[in-house]
A and B are shown apart, each in its own frame.
Chain A
């Protein structure tokens, strides 16, 4: 019944990876992704794999959490593996045969290659959210989007929106929890009947939730205006996220390694 009170998957430990600027990590993540999509040999994946393993170890994130993302894509993984490995009446030597369907070495190799690529992609990217707080993420995002402001893109406002949304997720979750319990106490049942019927039983939860959210939004607007909010431009920050020398060094070396990897292997 109780919704976890801390949001996101951030693992609050101190590590060299946690200490990096969010922008550095986003850059490395981008390079990692590009490298994964350009490598063509298992050797390339192996090097990227070593990169991910080193990063996880340095980040002091428990393996259980680092690998948790794989569960979410298990179906895609299985599908990728099977779709590549299974062939219709292959001319090659089959390792396994089910009527006209067969698995051969070539297909299995391709399947494993693509599956491994997905695993490395998932683990690598989840490392970003595991080691970076939502606030650092939005700040980093704002900085990265800033050049777009020249073309009229409201980078500051988008970042503010994300921050406020993050701030209100736990509050809203708590409130939803309260309303559900209260309506259950008034005899509502949420676990019976056809999907259509079940959707209908959520009306007594969704309406108050929305009404309260609108009220909240109204007061929040007043509070923000009272504190001189006038859009994202011209704001200073208590903790300006700055790229330090170490950040640049890690970013350059890491990106160089990954890009070379993508080109060579």
Chain B
């Protein structure tokens, strides 16, 4: 059971004078129950990859399949675009969240909506009847994510889910994304890897439309050169540990979370004052 992209290439306006190649021979697997992180600088093709995986664009070459069948629009892949709260249109939160499931003809939409809101940490009894246009940044973002979760697709794609939020909103959205993997395979696209890295199952790094790295976050954290080549900023926590190694500190494995990194630095300091 997986969402797979096999040697996918994509060129905008293929065959015309203004043809722009965006992706070149990209392969990727998202299995259900895992969070895969796709990192890349602006213009690396990561948003295009997301649209291809959702069946909103056709690859120029290669194939994208879900559980063996070619992906199609309105199929088994849900997608949350960047700043999804700018797409609200209904009078109430519940009505907006119910848009997707109604279009798909799901049964018992009301309880689907309640569950989707609960999955992002919002109580339908409190938020259901509010206008989506009066929510705070973090609440609005989570309602928008609930609107896609409510379609109950086995795969979920998110484009920069935390961009522009304040710390509380950010924390709530991260929690919602983490718990989404209980019901779906999740692919997150971002240029800011730090906050996802500690708990992502796998990560792929894109550079100018090509896969530069694929593996577990731990391994990527050990390769500062890959980050540089992809014009990505190494998360400061990771960078600090590499700099400490450069000064002779003994850090056996780069830690990705705050506590681990602090412990690694402290131990390094004790070993080599």
Contacts and interface: CB of A to CB of B under 8 A. Distances in A.
Q: Do chains A and B touch in the complex (CB under 8 A)?
A: yes
Contact of B103 (A2, A186, A211, A212): A186
Contact of B74 (A175, A182, A187): A187
A182 B158 CA distance: 12
Interface stretch (B82-90, B107-115, B162-170): B82-90
Contacts of B209: none
Interface string A197-224: 0000001110110011000000000000
B104 A182 contact: no
B79 interface: yes
B54 interface: yes
A78 interface: no
A34 to B, nearest CB: 40
Interface string B42-86: 000000000100101100000000000000011000110100101
B86 A186 contact: no
Contacts of B133: 211
Nearest to A205: B89
Contacts, number: 60
A29 B147 CA distance: 54
Contacts of B104: 187
B89 to A, nearest CB: 4
A240 to B, nearest CB: 35
15 contacts: A175-B86, A179-B86, A179-B87, A181-B51, A185-B54, A185-B78, A185-B79, A186-B103, A186-B147, A186-B148, A187-B104, A188-B103, A207-B89, A208-B86, A212-B86
Given A187-B74, A208-B89, A181 B56 contact: yes
Interface in B1-30: 12-13
B99 interface: yes
A184 interface: yes
A260 to B, nearest CB: 44
A178 interface: yes
Contact of A189 (B78, B100, B103): B103
Nearest to A212: B86
B187 interface: no
Contact of A182 (B13, B57, B87, B102): B87
B81 A186 contact: no
Contacts of A185: 54, 56, 73-74, 78-79, 81, 148
Given A181-B51, A183-B87, 18 more contacts: A1-B57, A175-B86, A179-B86, A179-B87, A181-B56, A184-B56, A184-B73, A185-B78, A185-B79, A185-B148, A186-B147, A186-B148, A187-B74, A187-B100, A188-B99, A188-B103, A205-B89, A211-B89
A212 B88 CA distance: 10
A209 to B, nearest CB: 9
A83 to B, nearest CB: 40
Contacts of A207: 88-89
Interface string A36-55: 00000000000000000000
A187 B153 CA distance: 12
A83 B56 CA distance: 48
B73 A203 contact: no
A63 to B, nearest CB: 18
A88 to B, nearest CB: 50
A188 B74 CA distance: 8
A178 B99 contact: no
Contacts of B87: 179, 182-183, 204, 208
Given A187-B74, A189-B103, A211-B133, A182 B89 contact: no
A257 B54 CA distance: 61
Interface in A163-195: 175, 178-179, 181-189
Contacts of B73: 184-185
A232 B81 CA distance: 39
Given A185-B54, A187-B100, A187-B103, A211 B88 contact: yes
Contacts of A203: 89
Nearest to A188: B103
B151 interface: yes
B100 A186 contact: yes
A211 B57 CA distance: 27
A199 to B, nearest CB: 15
A207 B99 CA distance: 14
Given A188-B103, A204-B99, A182 B88 contact: no
A175 B78 CA distance: 20
Nearest to A5: B18
Contact of B81 (A182, A187, A205): A182
B54 A2 contact: no
Interface centre among A175, A178, A189, A205 (most CB of B within 10 A): A178
A262 B232 CA distance: 67
Contacts of B13: 2
Contact of B12 (A2, A178, A179, A188): A2
